Amino acid sequence: MINTVVLTGRLTRDVDLRYTQSGAAVGSFTLAVDRRFTNQNGDREADFVNCVIWRKSAENLANFVHKGSLLGVEGRIQTRNYENKQGQRVYVTEVVVENFTLLEPRNGGQQGNNNMGNQASQQNPFGTPQSNNFGGQSDSNPANNNQNGNDNSADPFAGSGDQIDISDDDLPF
């Protein structure tokens, strides 16, 4: 039997991180997942899926995402029930998250959400063409970026001075 869920959506609120009596971290959140089709008015509807994540993964997720973040999750569907204070049986269906993937730069979701009152630094942890070694100019003087002063942002090995000599016998095809 297979019980596997893969979802991509946006957080509707920050992760609610709590700890059990034994000290295990548990995070709960709701993921808004767009439907593939539109309604009669041409609007795209969304499903709001309750999710729960445990232990260190819960702490990591709570530290790196915020309301509006685009997130991919993998996990399984779980149904549980309990009796509330009024004595009624309550059934809960949720996704137990086993893996998650951040699908945009750390501060990327804030731009579409009016920065949500958060003035955090706007640096991109994944690197930008201006900050990595493979593209753009990281120094105000282009001559300092490589040995010959040419902008070879498409080729990270250009200007290294080393010639690569490969025989046909070394190729795997």
Model pLDDT for residues 30-55, shown as the tens digit of each residue? 999 999 888 888 888 899 999 999 99
Q: Break the chain into its structural domains and give their ranges.
A: 5-117
Q: CA torsion, points 139, 140, 143, 149, in degrees to nearest 10?
A: 80
d(CA 116, CA 118): 5
Q: Which two tokens stand for residue 169?
A: 């016998």
Half-sphere exposure of 123 (CA within 13 A, CB side): 5
pLDDT classification of 146: cutoffs 50, 70, 90:
very low
Average pLDDT for 113-138: 40
CB 19 within 8 A of CB 25: yes
Side chain identity, residue 150: N
17 contacts: CB under 8 Å, gap ≥ 6: 25, 26, 27, 58, 59, 62
- The CA distance from 148 to 160, in Å, is 9
SS (H, E, C) 75-108: EEEEEEEEECCCCCEEEEEEEEEEEEEECCCCCH
Q: Whole-structure pTM over 0.85, yes or no?
A: no
* Class level of CATH domain 5-117: mainly beta
The candidate with the shortest Cα–Cα distance to 96, out of 72, 81, 75, is 75
